Every structure is written in C-alpha cells, then in structure tokens.
Amino acid sequence: MVNKNIIYIATVIIIVIIVSSVFLYMNYKTSNQSTAKGITITDDEGYNTTLPAVPQRIVSLAPSCTQILFAIGDGNRVVGVTDYDDYPYNFTAWAAAGNMTIDGGYGTPNMEAIAGLSPDLIVTDNINDGTNLATMRNHGWDVLVLNPLTIQGIYNDIKMIGKATGATTQANQVVQNITDTINTITSKISNAHVAPPTVFYEVWTPPLMTAGEPTWINDVISKAGGINIFANASDTTQYPTISSEAVVALNPDTIFLPTEMGQTPFYGSVADVKATAAWNTISAVENNRIYVINADLFAEASPRVADCVYAVAADLYPQLFNSTS
Amino acid sequence: MSEDEVKGNFSKRSSRWKIILAALVVALIITIIASLDIGFASQTPANMKLAIPQISFIQILYILGKQIPFVGNKINVSAVFTKPGDLASAQNIIMLIRLPRILAAALVGAGLAAAGVIYQGVFRNPMADSYLLGVSAGASLGYAVAILYISSALTIAGLGISQAFAFIFALLTVFLALLIARSGTRIPVVNLLLTGLVLNIFFLALFSLLEIRAGKALGEIVAFTLGSFSSIVWTHVWVVFPFVIVGIALTFFFTRDLNMFSMGDETAQHLGVNTERVRIFLLVIASLMTAAAVAISGVIGFVGLIIPHMTRLAIGPDHRILLPTSAVVGAMFMVICDAVVRVATGASELPVGVITALVGTPVFFYLLKRRKTSYSL
C-alpha cells in the first residue's frame, strides 16, 4: 500500500515537472523573440516599444488611429480595424467584401482575430484597459497607445506613428497642413477683434458632464476663439461631472451639443436643453445659440481636428465664417 | 454478506469506476481537440469576414502534431496550407490563442469543481461552493486595489500585478477566516461557515467602495467578477497547472476521510479521522486551487457549486469517484462554455461566468428532476 502511494506521488510529481518545463520552454521561446534591435518608440503612456523592422501588417484598434494611418499614407498596410471605423472609407463594406478584417469592437479587441492577422504593429488609443494591453504585449505583439491631451498632442501622435511606420515625411506634411488650416482660422478670428464668446460643451447628461482643461476638446474650443467656462473645473479629471446650477451661474454665450450622426443624442434634444429648469436665463438659451455638432469629429483625436476647429469657429463667429451653419 | 462478497462487490464497483473515469477522460480530450476548431476566426460572422480562410480540422491536427517534440520535425505542416501566410495565421490562432485558452479553461474548471467537492464534503452543506471562505471577494478586492493604485506593468511569477494581488488577497481572506473562526485549539464548522459568509460580505462592501471610485477602470474590475479566458497567455496555464494537478492528487488521499465526514464529525472521529487537521489541510488545498484559478480567469461562478452536485446525482456520493469525475466534468463543462463564449456574440465576447450559469442551470434541473428519490449529500 505504501509503495503504491509512493509510486502514485512520484508519477504526479514527474508529470507536473515535465509539463511545467514544457510550458517554461514555450514561454522562453516566445519571450525571446522581442529582443531584436530596431527603432524604439515611447508611446503616450510612457511605454517603450522596440520595432525590429518597418511594420508591414498594422492593426488599428481605434477610429482615430485608423484615420492617422490612412492620412499618412500607410492605409495599404492596415490589415485590421474595429467595427466602429467608418472613415476615411466604409470599412464594414470592405470587410463584407473580404478586403479588410474587423478585429473587434472599440475597446473590446478580439485576440483571435488579431492573432490571425499576424500583426507586427498594433495602434490604439486609451480605450483599451491594462488587461487588454498586457495580453497583447504578452502575446509578443508591439502596441502603441495614443492619448493626446492637446492639439499639439495629436500632432505628436501623428509624428509618432509616422516614425514607427517609416512615414516621417508624410506625417510631418499632414501636421503642417493641419497647423496651416488652424492658423488661418485663428488669425481670421484675432483680426476681427471681437470679444470671445464663452462656451459650454455638454458631453453627457445625466449626470451633466463637460470637457475640462486636460482634453484636446478644450484646446479646440480655445483655438476656435471660444472660452470653455469649465476649463478650470478640474486639473485632473478630463470629463468632470458638474451641477446644472454652475452652468446657470457661469452663463455661457453658447452651448455645444455633440451628437453622433443619425443617432439619438446623448443629451436628449435641443428642446430638452432649452426646457432644463432655470436654464431659460442663460444667454445661450435666450439668444438661441445652441449648436449641435458631429461627435464623430470630437470623439476621435484624428487628423480631422482642423475640421473640428472650423466647425466650432463657424458657430462662434457666423459673421466671419458664413459659408456653413 | 460474507467478507468475500463485500470484496467482490467492491472490486466490481472499482472496475466500473475505472471505466467511467476513463470514458470521461477520453470525452474531455475529444472535447478539447474539437473545441480547437471553435472560435471567431473559424465561425466569423458574414459581415466581419477574416482575411484568412477558415482553419480546417486537418490543419489543426497538423499544427498540433508539429508541436510534439522529436516527432514534430517530421511533420510537413505547410503541405496542408495553400499559402504560407495562412499557415502563420492559423499557427498564431491555434498555438497563441486557442490552445492556452482551452487548457486554462480545463484546468480552472477542474480546480473549481474539485474545490467545490472538498468544500461540500468538509462542511456537509449543499450550499457550500468553492468561494465559501471568501476567495472570490478577497480576490476581487485585491484585483481592484492593484488596478486602481499600482502601476500594472509589473509581473510576478508570470502573473500580472493585479492577478498576483488577487491570488494573495484570496489566500489572506481564507487565512483570516480560519484565524477568526478558531475557538481554542478547534475550528468549529459552524463558526467557519459564518465567518466565511461575513468576510465575503465585508470584502464585497470594500470592493464596491473601490468600484464607485474606479472611473475609467470600472469595466476592467467588473469584468474580473464575471470571469473570462480572453486574456489567457501561456504563462497563466503554467501558473495554474501545478496548483490544480497537485491539489487534486493530494486530495485523492483523503477521499475516504471525506466520505467519513459525511457521517458527521463524531462518527468520523470514532472511525479514526483526525477531523481537525484533515479539515484544515483540505480547506487549504481547495483554497489554493481556487485562488490560482480565480487569479488567471476571474471569478467564474456556478461551476464550483453545481458541477459536484451534477456529478453526485449521476454517479453517487462516494468521494473516491466523485472527486476525479467532478474534476473531469468541471474541465469539460468549462471548455464547452468557453467555446460558446468565443462564437456566441461575434467579435466582442461575453463573460464566461454568464454562460456557465445559462448552460448549467437547465442541465442541473434535468438531472434533479430525473431522480426519483430525494437527494442528499
């Protein structure tokens, strides 16, 4: 009986040791792959990634990243996009035709789809949580995370991706074009010498949320010649929750409501905003200066940021930009 | 009945058990291999076509064969692929994603089910499950603490910092429960049951407090409490493997003691079981298995409660067969549930804890209804 037990225990231990060493070996094999020399990129989260070669199979996990990649001429190397991507092309139709792979939802990447794409670079914004990022990096994939807090941050990200994909010249050109467009808008506004209107940007309700100082949306508003009334609401929270009373007290000249095209707006409707208790005394409501803007533009820190600035400027200064709105 | 007849009956039963167990192990292996062909890349929705052809079963067998040491070199895996790019893709999908994931699911399922058998046996309580002593609440709290207050780039022994915290907090909770429930030199069962219950509630309250302050990390924390195998990498398999296998193997020596527990503490003592030490030893083993499982996959409910009951309904209450069969059935059940998760909702996956309950409940009710006599442990 005792002998039987010893044999039994010995067998179990031997099996465990053998299987464990096989796992160790496999792990050693995979972890050994990422020691090659190449260019090192530091992303917006401070993570250093060394790319052994110019990436040829790029997976995008955010619409803004897809737009940057296509803007700097890397579109033909993009092998996967999320099911939220709809710009600059109708990727859903591409996928149905078998010319593009949908690699998951925005913030819910499908690891299997990504593995099937054998990516040599993955680009995402900060929607993906630590677990997703750790999983992808544990699989041995190179991941760059974008998290721009200003328009300058968007420029830096475009240049960062350009550096990673070997498209530095194109990236600099794209940044130059955006800068030029925005400069034209700002100089037009500053030449007009008009008192800048104040802006309330309603991100969400309920609870009532706005964009604070550490967001590139705040930067867009100031570039478009507006003053974000909640710029100083919080130094650290990007989208602080605020009280309805504070909006009344700060009495904004204009209210901006982001809405996704063709979808139910976050805030209800313009009529709902006007009907909000005690808001009828707000200058923006009294003068009917409530503007609905395309949230796709404002939710994505993409090369379209100049369009963003233009859209806001056109609403703030209709006398200067009377072509639209 | 003469002594010979008793012995004869036993050996008849013992050989029947061996057949049942062997059949279940074969079924588990078939389930594992079959589930390798299930996943987003194989069952892609029409509007999300993957730019590689679907992986065939033959191709999977070739890829698996290639991994076998010595023999693998002789297998020409590229012969079954038309394009070299497809081979790389298929190899990535099978070896990097599906195989570690399926093995992790099997190990976690086995560990949770075996732990459930131990907890139910030790406490003589049908409500007992693998999370009875607060492993789930402790692990969730540890996970949330690490996510919210510690940089997540660190790894400890193959686990991410948040997973390592989940494991440590889970074990601390069990240790705390044993410490508080102690009365003199003994740990009365009722004390331990209540202590575990209260600690669960207490740690969940602390966890909820962190949830409210979580902000952007909320989704990640909530996902942990529902469990998922989508983030599994090979190192996780390697971490959980020794805990589950050694845990089940060691418990196997005490299945007779577990049988005697079911007659009550006093009877067990009269039959020569050192109830106090055996109980603590088994609880520690079960908690280690559960903590390791939870650390890599999150809190997957239902398996540690219902799989032991389902197996007991089908096979009887003798722990010598109940323990190994529950472990194998638990493994098989988890592999199937994870396969469902991989294809049920297209590109974005559901938490596996939802599926275990949805799939398991009707099966359990069917087994309960089919039984003519009343059911007890």
List, as one string, the DSSP characters of B167-235.
HHHHHHHHHHHHHHH-BTTB--HHHHHHHHHHHHHHHHHHHHHHHHT-GGGHHHHHHHHH--STT--HH
Question: Would you state the pLDDT for residue B189?
Answer: 86
| Domain annotation covers residue B219 | yes
Assigned domain for B212 exists:
yes
Q: Is residue B297 part of a domain?
A: yes
Spatial separation of the C-alpha atoms in residues A178 and A172, rounded to whole Å? 10
Q: Which residues make Cβ contacts (< 8 Å) with residue A125, sequence separation at least 6?
A: A61, A62, A64, A65, A145, A146, A147, A301
Pick from A23, A103, A104: CB nearest B238: A23
More confident residue, A295 or B220: B220
With beta carbons less than 8 A apart as the criterion, state whether A294 and A311 touch. Answer: yes
Minimum mean pLDDT range among A38-42, A110-114, A267-271, B104-108: A267-271
| For the ranges A152-161, B276-285, B309-318, the one whose mean pLDDT is highest | A152-161
* Interchain CB contact of B233 with A (< 8 Å): yes
Contact A148, A123 (CB under 8 A): no
Smallest Cβ–Cβ distance between A104 and the set B89, B152, B348 belongs to B348
pLDDT tens-digit readout, A39-53: 899 999 999 999 999
Cβ distance of A108 and B162 shorter than 8 Å:
no
Spatial separation of the C-alpha atoms in residues B42 and B93, rounded to whole Å: 10
Does B342 have pLDDT greater than 70?
yes
Whether residue A105 and residue B85 make contact (CB cut-off 8 A), yes or no, is: no
Rounded to 10 degrees, what is the CA torsion of B258, B261, B263, B268?
A: 110
pTM: 0.83
Residue A222 has pLDDT above 70, yes or no: yes
Express each pLDDT in B126-177 by its tens digit: 888 889 899 999 999 999 999 888 866 677 777 888 999 999 999 999 999 9
Contact B349 A108 (CB under 8 A): yes
pLDDT (0 to 100) of residue A97: 82
Q: Pick B52's closest partner by Cβ from A107, A116, A139.
A: A116
Task: Give which of B64, B107, B233, B240 to mutate to test A binding, by max A Cβ within 10 Å.
Answer: B233
* DSSP-derived 3-state class of residue A306: helix
What distances in angstroms separate CA B371 from CA A228, B313, B314, one per listed residue? 69, 8, 9
Answer yes or no: same fold for A33-166 and A191-316: yes
d(CA A11, CA B158): 25
Q: pLDDT band at residue B73, thresholds of 50, 70 and 90?
A: confident
Nearest chain B CA: its distance from A263 CA (Å): 21
* Structure confidence at residue A325 (pLDDT): 42
Please report the pLDDT score of residue B229 as a whole number: 93
Higher pLDDT, B351 or A13: B351
With an 8 Å Cβ cutoff, are A83 and B241 in contact? Answer: no
| Of B40, B285, B340, the residue nearest A101 (C-alpha) | B40
Q: Closest partner residue to B93 among A95, A112, A140, by Cβ?
A: A112
pLDDT of A118-145, one tens digit each? 999 999 998 888 889 989 998 889 999 9
For residues A136 and A143, give the distance between their C-alpha atoms in angstroms, rounded to a whole number. 7
Pairing of strands A290-294, A101-102: unpaired
User: How many structural domains compose chain B?
Assistant: 1
Report the CATH number that the domain containing residue B138 is assigned in CATH.
1.10.3470.10
Average pLDDT along chain B: 87
Q: How far is B93 from chain A (nearest CA, A)?
A: 5
Beta-carbon separation of A103 and B253 below 8 A: no
Query: Could you tell me the fold of the domain covering A33-166?
Result: Rossmann fold (3.40.50)
Question: Does the pLDDT of residue A34 top 80, yes or no?
Answer: no
Domain range A191-316, CATH class: alpha beta
Please report, for chain A, the start and end positions of each structural domain, with discontinuous segments joined by +: 33-166, 191-316
How many pairs of residues across A and B have Cβ atoms under 8 Å apart?
Answer: 129
Q: In this structure, what is the dihedral angle of CA atoms A57, B57, B109, B150, given to the nearest 10 degrees?
A: 0
CA distance B96 to chain A (A): 7
Q: Which domain holds residue B234?
A: 107-370
Q: How far is B264 from chain A (nearest CA, A)?
A: 27
CA neighbours closer than 13 Å in the CB half-sphere of residue B174: 24
Mean pLDDT score, B321-345: 93
Which residues in B lie closer than 8 A to residue A9 (C-beta atoms)? Answer: 249
- Could you give the C-alpha distances from A36 to A58, B66, B345, in angstroms and in order? 19, 26, 38
Residue located via tokens 């939870």: B294
pLDDT of A29 over the 60 cut: no
Residue B327 has pLDDT above 60, yes or no: yes
B252 assigned to some structural domain: yes
pLDDT at B24: 96
CA dihedral sign, ordered A73, A74, A77, A81: negative
Q: Which of B70-74, B107-111, B228-232, B327-331 has the lowest mean pLDDT?
A: B70-74
The CB density around residue A235, as the number of other CB atoms within 10 Å, is: 9
Percent pLDDT > 90 in chain A is 49
